[in-house]
Amino acid sequence: MNHQRTHVVVVGGGYAGTLAANHLRQCADIDIRLVNPRPVFVERIRLHQLVAGTGTATADYATLLGDGIGLVVDSAERIHTAARRLLLTSGAVLDYDYLIYAVGSTGATPAVAGAAEFAYSVADLESAKRLRYALADLHPDAAITVVGGGLTGIETASELAEQGRRVSLVCGGMLGPSLSARGRRSVAKQLRKLGVSVLESAAVSQVRWDAVVLADGAVLPSAVTVWTAGFGVPDLAARSGLRTDALGRLLTDETLTSVDDERIVAAGDAAAPSGQPLRMSCQAAGPLAAQAANTVLSRIAGRSPAALNQAFVGQCVSLGRRHGTIQLARGDDTPVNVVVAGRSAASIKEAVCKGTLWAIRREAAKPGTYRWFRGGTRPAQAPAGQQVALQ
């Protein structure tokens, strides 16, 4: 008997897109193509290590993708929903029956004067490499300023300080806003041990090539300034005429299906189910990916897809290679006043990083084996501080 094959295009080869593509292989009658602008997988949760020279942050897709998945190295330019076609930057066109929208997140463009010209980012591979090259040419005792008190800023400042760099961390508000009081104390204690100068409730008004100017007029010498405050998402959905939230995430229902087109299903950082997005993190990306793929599989099989159901367990913060803080949380991602700190926490964080790729590889080998925590609820709006937490 001849079976009509279904064509699914996955846009974005990060944590969500790669796992979703593997999860789809539970059905043998699907042709799967994964579109990604780079030929390698980027471990975003290790980009601060790449910057400091303490680790790498890429993996070969050949070790991550299951048999039969076609990798298309290109960028998505526009989705033509009526024709079910994806236009790529190269001019190529991919037809699809279903599209999984997993474009991920990017660094937000700072509105502060001079930041776009003089500040570096760790939000993507290319930016992290530029920062690493800049640090390589820097005197070991030169002042470095990290702007942003979220998890990305904390990890970047810690990693650099552990290498003997002289680092200031300008938080804007409080240090670690997504952490509990005990979690913040734990992080602050280790930052002090590493020699990081933490400036809470200090805002940046200008970035110069050799300094950072604070809102109160104070000037911090800064040979290199790293901007980690805030993240956005690519505007592919908006360019394609699909409705998004204020940040640009694709608006979906509780099955992660676009409110405008049932053939488009979202996963990862760029999804806003019922206008209530989860925290941007690989912890959210994996479960969202599996559920997005399940929605597609259900529709192909003629079944009603299940509603979103996942829970958080906490946040892992590395503080250099030898220390860390594990912040435990309720299922709805609100922190409880319980943390694990020190060398054991660093070991747990490293195991989590390795386990993330292990889970993708296992799904490639045995589709449908991915499991996640369920039963969490979502607040009406994700706290702004949590949107800068990539871990």
Is residue 382 predicted with pLDDT exceeding 80? no
pLDDT of residue 90: 98
Q: Which of 227, 243, 276 is the last residue of a domain?
A: 227
Is 341 contained in some domain?
no
CA distance 354 to 360: 10
Range of the domain at 119: 115-227
Average pLDDT, the chain: 94
CA distance 379 to 381: 5
Is 385 contained in some domain?
no
Is residue 39 predicted with pLDDT exceeding 90? yes
Q: For 162-214, how does the pLDDT look when each residue is reduced to its tens digit (9 = 90+)?
A: 999 999 999 999 999 999 999 999 999 999 999 999 999 999 999 999 999 99
Is 19 contained in some domain?
yes
Split into its structural domains, the chain has a count of: 2
pLDDT of residue 2: 52
pLDDT of residue 92: 98
CA distance 43 to 57: 5
Residues 120 and 218 in one domain: yes
pLDDT of residue 230: 83
Please report, for the domain that includes residue 125, its CATH number.
Answer: 3.50.50.60
**Does the reported pTM lie above 0.75?**
yes
Residues 244 and 97 in one domain: yes
The dihedrals phi and psi of 99, each to the nearest 5 degrees, come to -130, 130
